[in-house]
Structure 1
Amino acid sequence: MKKLLTMALSVSLLCNAQASDLFKPVKEVALRAPSVPLVMADPYLSIWSPYDKLTEGSTKHWTNASKPLVGALRVDGKVYRFMGKDKQNLQPIAPMTDVEVWEGAFTRQTPSQGWTEMEFDDSSWKRGKAAFGTRDMPRIHTEWRDDDIWVRRAFNMDNLDADDNIYLIYSHDDVFELYLNGEKLVGTDYSWNNDVQLQLTETAKKKLRNGKNVIAAHCHNTTGGAYLDFGIYREKKQTASFTTEAIQKNVSVLPTQTYYTFSCGPVELDVVFTAPQLMDDLDLMSTPINYISYQVRPMDKKQHDVQFYLEATPELALNEQTQPTIARSFTRNGLSYVEAGTIDQPICDRKGDGICIDWGYAYLASGNSTDRSLSLGDYYGMKESFINEGDLLTPQTKWITRQVTDMPAMAYAHDLGAVSKEGKSGYVMIGYDDIYSIEYMYEKRMAYWKHDGKVTIFDAFEKAKENYNAVMERCRDYDEMLMNDAEKAGGKEYAELCALAYRQVISAHKLFTDKEGNLLFFSKENNSNGCINTVDLTYPSAPLFLVYNPDLQKAMMTSIFEYSASGRWNKPFAAHDLGTYPIANGQVYGGDMPIEESGNMVVLAAAISKIEGNADYAKKYWDILTIWTDYLAEYGQDPENQLCTDDFAGHWAHNANLSIKAIMGVAGYSEMARMLGLDEVADKYGAIAKKMAVKWEQMANEGDHYRLAFDRKDTWSQKYNIIWDKMWNLNLFPNDVISKEVAYYLTKQNPYGLPLDSRKEYTKSDWIMWSAALSPDKATFGKFISPIYKYANETVTRVPLSDWHHTDSGKFVGFKARSVVGGYWMQVLMNKMHKK
């Protein structure tokens, strides 16, 4: 039986002017984010703007799926759009598969010359239904996985008008080219994009003709998923839209808040997106509600008539746009709501990487007493009403959608009335209630904030409204603390990078408890394979949680310990993961990482003990830690050929950095034993670690630096795992290993950072932050940070912060929106530990 999960988008008002400082960031930020965090809660409620200006395009989920939020301000009868873009009213000529399944000719063999031309004879090609690609992609009817595919699609056109606006829409994964009647319109490099809209130029339109036309496309799959779908559309004329853009004056990304300021004709509009993800308040941090606050004031000292508009659609609750939805309006506890979500509600049925949630309901809720502050209705009619009247359509009580073209508007309007020099303001709440968040060991579990169903989403919205001012002040204080800590540790550029990473880290997790009441905090391995609670994501993300809430660090580790303790995992080393998000019933990864994951778990247990000043947490799992540590001691000195977290260029045996991880695991175990009063055990393993470190230095020594692998001359790599030797003041490694490595790294930097190792020019920015923390002083540390800042500030890859990028071009290789950038806080952690 299907159970209800609720996705909520709620709106509430504060009609009186708010404190002016709520709209001014506690620190001005200069960093241009590759993608700007807007609405953040967990891996499913994650909405970004991948543009310099908030008006440049539709807001998106981190997967690049459209999750449209549109905002507009009406000033003296003229409307200015400040967020998102209107969905164009496009009539299909040859629609994509979200409207209908189409058939084309295709081949997997390189075609003869002229295959793009309309007259080309493709009768020898196979016939197949779109979309083409791997089964993990949406609406696949013809499977294609490896290498290349060529597809030709014929369509008929009638009543061709030179004044028509014609749009090509396409989705692809990876390298893609497309032709219309022989004219090349699209050519990409290694990338994947969904529903790209390309308006045909006048030259391209001249290639069209009444009657038969042909779109020809070629896609090359480099690795992983493959996908191909395309169509052509005509824009319906005389559609009401918010065509005039507000002028964006600035944007600042702070840890929990993003600040925008716009000019809308004679008035200025401030908009603040707030995710109250405060780690010192787990209820607040895990409650899936964000605020969007707005303030309007005249710039010409005159009075102006102003109305505010916010719009969402049921797309917030969809994975595929073909999924049928139902929307309703109702009232509860004095608040009016509009609700929308999928009809089927397949709770936790879909698992994987690049997917969006398709259960739950989006809500708009308003406490405004005006008749039509909240409405559900026709997408274009709603805009027309606001443009002409500053008001909304009379709300519909129910709206069923079976095609994306029929999506309604879920709209809210606030009539601010006459705005004078004092200004006026309000706020909007956006939320998401997945009543059951995770399936953990074959039992569905609710999010932490629900306290096993004692708290509902409506309770949460009412509380969020009641506590708005207090929460906003707390977020400002929290931002200031985080920024001050980071700036003191590593400078202004470092602090701004940490600010950009913060919400990304928290929102890549879900907080809940198991049936015994243990706190669990599971990551989703975004854009890398979709695993849940991956140990080698837990390890790099650890610094943030070790600094600000070690209980969350434990909450990532407890389930891995319990997995071994239960007997479900019976190998003498730690598991890699617990499944594929949101299903956590046991490891699904195809290969083990014995040294990697065991070292991660033992080192992190020691790090928690060092932070807390006791080994109480480790004591609960001492038998398991002992098994893993013995494995590290026996096999970690000179690791055999095995998977590790940095094997992008292939996994080599005798990996020197992996050996350091094993050594630090043994040393960490010794430190914990000492805390537990097990002095003989501590002495024994301390001596083992020291002996291993001395031997390591001899085996890896390459003169002025140390090798990537013990048997590979003229190689090097970042030895970030040695950070714990410095942090814990153990001095295990002789002959100034750390200072030699740091000096050598500075000779290997490229414009956008330090490469991961000598094999490739790409890097992992989380590990750079760890390596940078080995620096002897703040000035040296800054030399490592500036190229990473330059990367984030200049990269042309507009995705949520990627941790894997090319250091020569600044383009990302892969990975986005991942939790590992919690590793950016390593220098803050170092400062904290050295003050103890």
Structure 2
Amino acid sequence: MKLKLLIATAIVCQSVSSFAQKQVFKNELRAPAYPLVTIDPNTSAWSYSNELNADVVRHWTGKSFPLLGVLKVDGKTYRFLGKEEAELLPLARMGEHAAWTGSYVVSEPASDWMKPSFDARQWKTGAAPFGTKDKEPNVETDWQEPKIWIKREVELTEDLTGKSVYIEFTHDDDAILYVNGIEVVNTGNSTGKNSRVKLPDHVVKTLKKGKNILAGYCYNRVANGYFDFGLFTEKEGSIQFDNEAKQITSNVQATQTHYSFNCGPVDLKITFTAPMFLDKLDLMARPVNYLSYTVHAKDGKKHQVQLYLEAAPNWALNSPLQDAASSFFTSGNLQFVKTGSKSQQVLAKKGDDLRIDWGYFYMAGAKSKTKSAVGSSHQLRSNFLKSENGSSSNGGQQLALIQSFDVSSSYQDKILLGYDDLYSIQYFGQNLRPYWNNTGNSSIEKQFELADKEYTVLKKAADKFDAELWGTALRNGGEDYAALCALAYRQAIAAHKLVKAPNGDLLLLSKENDSNGSIGTVDVTYPSAPIFLYYNPELAKALMNAIFYYSESNKWTKPFAAHDVGTYPLANGQTYGGDMPVEESGNMLLLTYALAKVEGNAAYAKKHWKVLSTWVDYLVDKGLDPENQLCTDDFAGHFAHNANLSIKAILGIASYGYLAQMLGEEATAKKYLTEAKAMAMKWKKMAEDGDHYKLTFDKSGTWSQKYNMVWDKLLKMDIFDPSIRETEIKYYLSKQNKYGLPLDNRQPYTKTDWIIWTATMADDKPTFEAFLKPVYRFMNETTDRVPMSDWTYTDRPKRAGFKARSVVGGYFIKMLEEKLGKAK
């Protein structure tokens, strides 16, 4: 028997290894955006298009992160990566760069308000950006009302007929924009940062010399408001690499994104690799990714080939208008290019739609095979076209690396990309270095050197890991599930930063991307935790450590858990405007018990028992029928008697009871488990509504996803009557729309992470897959090309908001179910 098992294991391992190396498994999902370079919330670069060369590479916020890749074969160029971004000249700058003054009102004006002939002299006057001044950075004019109407006068020095003109805008939430009275943008219920729309010719023809009018309406549905817009024209003659390589395939896997291209007589394969293995913290935190490539001559003839990779200083700037300093140098066996802001104001900014502007971005290649250059984009590209490569400087700050070689069969090489942020997080007043350099004894050059030496081993490990993740997800949830998990892996991790606290605790601090920029948000930790519970429980602790410290240090004195510990990257205390008492306390208790089940002991709970005891008593007092307060779905606003929130409270109390049991505190265990079961019985009576259970206890005819109940099943808590789950699952199947199950009866929007939690409540794989298919369909068809959104509509392929958030780590809950099933 043992021999047979050993042989079978060997066959499986060999199969997985072969499977990985040949890459025969393919993710057929047309991703909303493709991960390219994923290090942390600051260094996070994506392709927002189906073809790698159809658009500029972008930061997760949507801002341009120019990375341009060109292959020259026998003198002919083929652009395979990124797009030359036409240089835009400002006709009317956005307020974030130069405050402009407009006329505005906050009560609905006459229907012709947007027309140039409308007289707005009675309106108020204010400077842009307009927004919630105490919540949003850069706001000049405070806007607290739900709606705003703004008119902006733009003086042009010439007619623009025949030119390429763009309107750029930032909005939170719904926005409609007009140019000379003609509607050019209507976003619907969504948010956006620095979106850009090219104006149609008939609109451009109206832009005449003299006075022109831009008009905008914005409706802030909930929380923070923000509105800003400007006008730009394209600079002529800025495109030099117009010949595109023909993309053949794309394939997103957990740690890698693969592409293949036809470049005339040669084929090109490109792989972006981020060896973010969660059980190896040094690798997970190493701030270096790879762009590796293989060139294959199709005709067997010898070809002269050069690969050109160019990056912009944007990688190290919040705004491309900031002054940068770029350079090149050699270190060890590597040739480097480097860029960073001149000001280097370390940890000086906090907020959501921000990019890092301290520290330095680097690219490197083997010194023996790589030439470097720094200069203006026009000059660097012209030099490459003329084969005048090498180090130069003509006032510009663009970076380029060029690798030259001959190929008659196949040639392989790589370029390394990385970021040294010097200091990553400010933690209660103290600046913390990144985990990879927490003692100050390393350097970015050493990290690049290690990455270079270990590449071959790490590439094989990445292939194997990707195959294993795909296989596990496929077994548990089907092919659609495997595709979503593969896409979610790097997004979930890169929305965090790993540091070490002064007391030695690991801190894995999330950034609440495209939401409000909070750091260490508990109701972001809660949905993202399954990926970390599955791969490394120490990182699950690292998600919670800051919140425990916040209470235990008496910096947070309320009898429930805090919402956050600040605004990224400043973790100096909660900055969110409203507490979520039941939500966050329930989250912390549930996750502490889930961690104990994964580890097989309650040592972590024992360490934090005093504060857990405070939180559980709050839930006993307030949790059964929650007062008018926010829950994690705070975009839906405050509401009382929330049945799903009550489930969280009850299971949080049960979690405390089971933790007490694991610690041998039998009397305490009995007390809280008895309380939880009694509350669950009351819940059933309060929430029952015929063939389903209510959204709120006081309103019949309502319903909602009871995704919190998944823990009753996964942790085998036996608190709620199992028939509740069965009833709800059956009811949900009748409520699905084309793109998913709505969050509740109030709106057609949903949360994709909660759908997967709800689906995991089902007892069979076909039902699970029935909930997954619409989510897959949404991601495959959405017209919003951004890193996966978790807040989406179910009746149309549009996101309601959010992108690039860590909560997609919650997709791994189905895999976690299998792991917990094997736990002692």
Q: TM-score, normalized by length of structure 1?
A: 0.90
Q: What one-letter code is carried by the residue in structure 2 that aligns with 1:753?
A: G
**Aligned mate of 2:756, from 754, 758, 769:** 769
Q: How many residue pairs end up in the alignment?
A: 802
Q: How does 1:252-291 map to 2 (within 5 A)?
A: 252-291=251-290
Distance in 2 (CA, whole Å) between partners of 1:623 and 1:99 is 49
Q: 1:304 to 1:43 in 2, by over 3 A?
A: same
Q: How does 1:677-756 map to 2 (within 5 A)?
A: 677-734=664-721, 736-756=723-743
* Alignment pair present for 1:533 and 2:532: no
Q: What one-letter code is carried by the residue in structure 2 that aligns with 1:41?
A: I
Which whole-Å deviations, capped at 9, do the CAs of 1:594-631 have from their partners, x for residues lacking one? 22111111111111111111111111111222222222
Tell me the SS of whatever aligns to 2:792.
Answer: strand
Please report how far the alpha carbon of residue 453 of structure 1 lies from its aligned counterpart in structure 2 after TM superposition: 0.8
Tell me the SS of whatever aligns to 2:56.
Answer: coil
* Alignment pair present for 1:339 and 2:338: yes
Q: What one-letter code is carried by the residue in structure 1 that aligns with 2:412?
A: S
The farther-off stretch of 172-181 and 268-277 is 172-181
Q: How does 1:229-628 map to 2 (within 5 A)?
A: 229-237=229-237, 239=238, 241-369=240-368, 373-389=371-387, 391-392=388-389, 394-396=391-393, 399=395, 408-417=397-406, 419-420=407-408, 422-628=409-615
The farther-off stretch of 197-206 and 661-670 is 197-206
Task: Give the match for residue 7 of structure 2.
Answer: none
Distance in 2 (CA, whole Å) between partners of 1:614 and 1:207 is 71
Tell me the SS of whatever aligns to 1:651.
Answer: coil
Q: 1:144 to 1:691 in 2, by over 3 A?
A: closer
The farther-off stretch of 40-49 and 698-707 is 698-707
Task: Give the match for residue 218 of structure 1.
Answer: 216
Q: 1:690 to 1:145 in 2, by over 3 A?
A: closer
Distance in 1 (CA, whole Å) between partners of 2:138 and 2:697 is 49
Tell me the SS of whatever aligns to 2:374.
Answer: strand
Task: Give the match for residue 151 of structure 1.
Answer: 151
Q: Please give the root-mean-square deviation of Cα atoms over the aligned residues, in Å.
A: 2.7
Tell whether the 8 Å contact from 1:80 to 1:242 is kept in structure 2 after alignment.
yes
- Percent same amino acid at aligned positions? 46
Q: TM-score, normalized by length of structure 2?
A: 0.91
Q: 1:830 to 1:127 in 2, by over 3 A?
A: closer
More relative contact order in 1 or in 2 (CA 8 Å, sep 6+)? 1
Q: How does 1:805-816 map to 2 (within 5 A)?
A: 805-816=792-803
Tell me the SS of whatever aligns to 1:736.
Answer: helix
Which whole-Å deviations, capped at 9, do the CAs of 1:695-743 have from their partners, x for residues lacking one? 2222222232222222221222111222222123232223611211111
Please report how far the alpha carbon of residue 423 of structure 1 lies from its aligned counterpart in structure 2 after TM superposition: 1.2
Q: 1:729 to 1:447 in 2, by over 3 A?
A: same
Tell whether the 8 Å contact from 2:41 to 2:497 is kept in structure 1 after alignment.
yes
Please report how far the alpha carbon of residue 29 of structure 1 lies from its aligned counterpart in structure 2 after TM superposition: 0.5
Task: Give the match for residue 43 of structure 2.
Answer: 45
Tell me the SS of whatever aligns to 1:151.
Answer: strand
Task: Give the match for residue 170 of structure 1.
Answer: 168
The farther-off stretch of 290-299 and 677-686 is 677-686
Task: Give the match for residue 5 of structure 1.
Answer: none
Tell me the SS of whatever aligns to 1:536.
Answer: helix
Please report how far the alpha carbon of residue 36 of structure 1 lies from its aligned counterpart in structure 2 after TM superposition: 1.0
The farther-off stretch of 169-178 and 48-57 is 169-178
Please report how far the alpha carbon of residue 105 of structure 1 lies from its aligned counterpart in structure 2 after TM superposition: 6.2
Unaligned runs of 5+ in 2: 1-16
Tell me the SS of whatever aligns to 2:745.
Answer: coil
Tell whether the 8 Å contact from 1:663 to 1:692 is kept in structure 2 after alignment.
yes
Task: Give the match for residue 56 of structure 1.
Answer: 54
Which whole-Å deviations, capped at 9, do the CAs of 1:486-528 have from their partners, x for residues lacking one? 1111111101111111111101111111112111111111111
Q: 1:724 to 1:412 in 2, by over 3 A?
A: same
The farther-off stretch of 327-336 and 131-140 is 131-140
Q: What one-letter code is carried by the residue in structure 2 that aligns with 1:796?
A: T
Please report how far the alpha carbon of residue 100 of structure 1 lies from its aligned counterpart in structure 2 after TM superposition: 6.2
Which whole-Å deviations, capped at 9, do the CAs of 1:662-720 have from their partners, x for residues lacking one? 22122212221222122222222222222222222222222322222222212221112
Q: 1:714 to 1:472 in 2, by over 3 A?
A: same
Tell whether the 8 Å contact from 2:582 to 2:619 is kept in structure 1 after alignment.
yes
Task: Give the match for residue 404 of structure 1.
Answer: none
Tell me the SS of whatever aligns to 2:386.
Answer: helix
Distance in 1 (CA, whole Å) between partners of 2:240 and 2:287 is 31
Distance in 2 (CA, whole Å) between partners of 1:289 and 1:311 is 17
Task: Give the match for residue 402 of structure 1.
Answer: none
Distance in 2 (CA, whole Å) between partners of 1:783 and 1:742 is 11
Tell me the SS of whatever aligns to 2:524.
Answer: helix
The farther-off stretch of 432-441 and 165-174 is 165-174
Please report how far the alpha carbon of residue 21 of structure 1 lies from its aligned counterpart in structure 2 after TM superposition: 9.1
Distance in 2 (CA, whole Å) between partners of 1:285 and 1:367 is 23
Q: 1:114 to 1:594 in 2, by over 3 A?
A: closer
Which whole-Å deviations, capped at 9, do the CAs of 1:415-445 have from their partners, x for residues lacking one? 122x22x211211111111111111111111
Tell whether the 8 Å contact from 1:98 to 1:321 is kept in structure 2 after alignment.
no
Tell whether the 8 Å contact from 1:655 to 1:709 is kept in structure 2 after alignment.
yes
The farther-off stretch of 545-554 and 95-104 is 95-104
Tell me the SS of whatever aligns to 1:189.
Answer: coil
Task: Give the match for residue 33 of structure 1.
Answer: 31
**Aligned mate of 2:81, from 80, 83, 97:** 83
Please report how far the alpha carbon of residue 393 of structure 1 lies from its aligned counterpart in structure 2 after TM superposition: 5.4
Tell whether the 8 Å contact from 1:172 to 1:219 is kept in structure 2 after alignment.
no
Q: 1:188 to 1:640 in 2, by over 3 A?
A: closer
Tell me the SS of whatever aligns to 2:686.
Answer: helix
Task: Give the match for residue 3 of structure 1.
Answer: none
Which whole-Å deviations, capped at 9, do the CAs of 1:302-324 have from their partners, x for residues lacking one? 33222111110111111123322
Which whole-Å deviations, capped at 9, do the CAs of 1:519-539 have from their partners, x for residues lacking one? 111111111111111111111
Q: 1:464 to 1:709 in 2, by over 3 A?
A: same
Q: 1:113 to 1:599 in 2, by over 3 A?
A: closer
